[in-house]
Structures are given as structure tokens and as C-alpha cells.
């Protein structure tokens, strides 16, 4: 879930605790997503002046990302950036989150390559949702990217699209993590069972007072 997300408003805490589902609060904004082996992540970490014409503001970054992925999904009917989501028609398959500081920005996306429909039951319908969702439940709202494009083709096209904007080369992740680990303060963290139980208690108390 995003940095400002509240567990009691976004997830079904009872089933999450019962099934021992880890809940991670990340450092960036955005909504809450189910993550498993079928999720593909793409993260862009950019200095503020690296992309011509892109300002370090959410709307500017989002618009540019829509153009970038238009190259990736060229020829696939229905792809568009819609209210900060990547969709095929009116079905979401990519959710975005950002973090922006003075000198750089991060734009990262979780693509629903595949997912277990049963896991969507852990998510509540958020109070703030895009208009095009039209109060649809998760099963009716999202779709699987694998039904539109093979995974290998997606990776190949994404790399090609990035190469039109950046100089791209493969880097070993361990080397990157090792060289930047000193003094780094992690703000993404796993929520404890105690925090989740407290969220339930607070919700029940709030309902009792309002009732």
C-alpha cells in the first residue's frame, strides 16, 4: 500500500491476518495492490532534467509514461493511460505510484501479468477510485496482461522503448544494492500483526462512536 494508506480502509484485515498475508507499506504514493509471482514491476528513477519536457510533477511524469508505454503496446487495441492507470479498454492492468524530491523522481508500475482471482478478496473497494471504475469489484475491474501480450515480448518492447530515451545496459542487482546500502534509511516496511490488529480495533471503536 502507499505511504499514506490506512489498512482499515484498504484491506480486509481479518482474512489477511487469518491467511498470514504480508502487508507492505511502500515509500511512494498510490493505491494498494496484490503482489505475487505474476506481477511484473518496472521502476524508472530519473534525475529531474534527464527527460526533455518532463517536469518533476505527477501529471507531467504520468503523461510522459503514457507515451512511453504507447510504444510498448503499439498495435494492441484499447491501450491507454486512463486516470493514472494503464488499461485495455476499461479494464486496468497496470497501477502506478510516484515519489518526487527536489532533484529526482521515481515512477514505478505494477503490471498484472497474471493473478489469482481469489487474492483480490483481500482488497476493499477504495473510497477514492477512478470514475471509469464505476464501482466495479476487483474481478470486474482488472484484467491479465498475458491475454494481450507474451511476457517476453513485453520485456523486449519495454527495453526498446527505454532505449529511445536513455542509454540502457544490464546491471547486476547485488552490485547496485551493495554500493548504496551504507547509510540508507529504509522507509518501505512490513506492517506488523500488532499494527494490523490495532487498525481493526481503531475501526471498531470509530464505528461504535459514530453509531
Question: Which strands, in side-by-side order, build the sheet including 79-82?
Answer: 39-47, 104-112, 91-100, 85-88, 79-82
Q: pLDDT tens digits for 174-195?
A: 877 766 656 656 789 999 999 9
**Packed helices 58-72 and 151-163: angle between N→C axes, nearest 10 degrees:** 120
* pLDDT higher than 90, residue 170: no
Level-2 CATH architecture, domain 39-108+130-168: 2-Layer Sandwich (3.30)
Domain ranges in the chain are 39-108+130-168
Query: Percent of the chain at pLDDT above 70?
Result: 96
Is the full-model pTM beyond 0.95? Answer: no
Amino acid at each position: 500500500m502507499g505511504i499514506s494508506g490506512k489498512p482499515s480502509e484498504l484491506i480486509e484485515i481479518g482474512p489477511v491476518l487469518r491467511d498470514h498475508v504480508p502487508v507492505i507499506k511502500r515509500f511512494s504514493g498510490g493505491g494498494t495492490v496484490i503482489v505475487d509471482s505474476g506481477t511484473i514491476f518496472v521502476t524508472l528513477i530519473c534525475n529531474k532534467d534527464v527527460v526533455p519536457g518532463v517536469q518533476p510533477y505527477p501529471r507531467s511524469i504520468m503523461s510522459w509514461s503514457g507515451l512511453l508505454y504507447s510504444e510498448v503496446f503499439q498495435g494492441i487495441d484499447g491501450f491507454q493511460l486512463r486516470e493514472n492507470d494503464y488499461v485495455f479498454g476499461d479494464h486496468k492492468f497496470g497501477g502506478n505510484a510516484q515519489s518526487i524530491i527536489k532533484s529526482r523522481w521515481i515512477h514505478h508500475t505494477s503490471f498484472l501479468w497474471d493473478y489469482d482471482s481469489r487474492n483480490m478478496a483481500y482488497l476493499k473497494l477504495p473510497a477514492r477510485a477512478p470514475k471509469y471504475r464505476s464501482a466495479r469489484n476487483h474481478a470486474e475491474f482488472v484484467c491479465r496482461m498475458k491475454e494481450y501480450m507474451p511476457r517476453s515480448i513485453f520485456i523486449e518492447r519495454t527495453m526498446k522503448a527505454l532505449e529511445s530515451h536513455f542509454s540502457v545496459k544490464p546491471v547486476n542487482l547485488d552490485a547496485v544494492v551493495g554500493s548504496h546500502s551504507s547509510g540508507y534509511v529504509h522507509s518501505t516496511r512490513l506492517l506488523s500483526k500488532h499494527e494490523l490488529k490495532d487498525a481493526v480495533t481503531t475501526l471498531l471503536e470509530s464505528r461504535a462512536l459514530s453509531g
